[in-house]
């Protein structure tokens, strides 16, 4: 990722943070709509899960400037996800759902440049997590 992409991601996430509850609801509603089988991996009450999602996103976004600082936590998260039943093929669906959620939440502020920056950020992190959880692809 370029420094300008990191700035775009961080500035746009600052606009999402105030609506994090709504964004998390949008995210999980969409995820379960496009990938119904993954619903079984989650608790019935998603209140805590939504908070975890937004907290993890906030930590990752703030750590993009120093990627090495967030990789240990990303590795541990990836390995925990395996125990929950997550598979490598779930990562692209989650990424598409995240981008969809950001587009909905940011409205007109969602530009092709911003979409590319988020796509790159998710690609870097998910690629790392997949390799940590399932071995190099």
The per-residue pLDDT for range 68-102, each reduced to its tens digit, is 999 999 999 999 999 999 999 999 999 999 999 99
Q: Which residues of 78-94 are buried (b: 16+ CB within 10 A; e: fewer)?
A: beebeeeebebebbeeb
- The reported pLDDT for the residue numbered 20 is 94
What is the domain range of residue 78?
A: 3-134
* Spatial contact of 91 and 129, defined as CB atoms under 8 Å apart: yes
- The reported pLDDT for the residue numbered 135 is 86
Determine the straight-line distance between the first and last CA of the chain, rounded to whole angstroms. Answer: 21
* Spatial contact of 8 and 120, defined as CB atoms under 8 Å apart: no
Please determine, for residue 103, whether its predicted confidence score (pLDDT) is greater than 80.
Answer: yes
| CATH number, position 106 | 1.10.490.10
pTM value is: 0.92
Q: How many domains does the chain have?
A: 1
* 21-66: pLDDT as tens digits: 999 999 999 999 999 999 999 999 999 999 999 999 999 999 999 9
Please determine, for residue 16, whether its predicted confidence score (pLDDT) is greater than 60.
Answer: yes
Distances (CA, A) of 62 to 6, 29, 70, 108: 9, 25, 9, 23
């Amino acid at each position: 990722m370029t420094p300008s992409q990191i700035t775009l991601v961080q500035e746009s996430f600052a606009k999402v943070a105030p609506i994090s509850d709504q964004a998390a609801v949008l995210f999980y509603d969409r995820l379960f709509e496009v990938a119904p089988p993954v619903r079984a991996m989650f608790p019935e009450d998603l209140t805590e899960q939504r908070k975890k999602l937004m907290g993890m996103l906030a930590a990752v976004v703030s750590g993009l400037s120093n990627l090495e600082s967030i990789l240990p936590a990303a590795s541990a998260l990836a390995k925990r996800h395996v125990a929950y039943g997550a598979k490598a093929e779930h990562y692209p669906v989650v990424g598409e759902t995240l981008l969809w959620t950001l587009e909905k939440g940011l409205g007109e502020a969602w530009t092709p440049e911003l979409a590319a920056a988020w796509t790159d950020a998710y690609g870097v992190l998910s690629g790392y997590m997949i390799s940590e959880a399932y071995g190099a692809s």
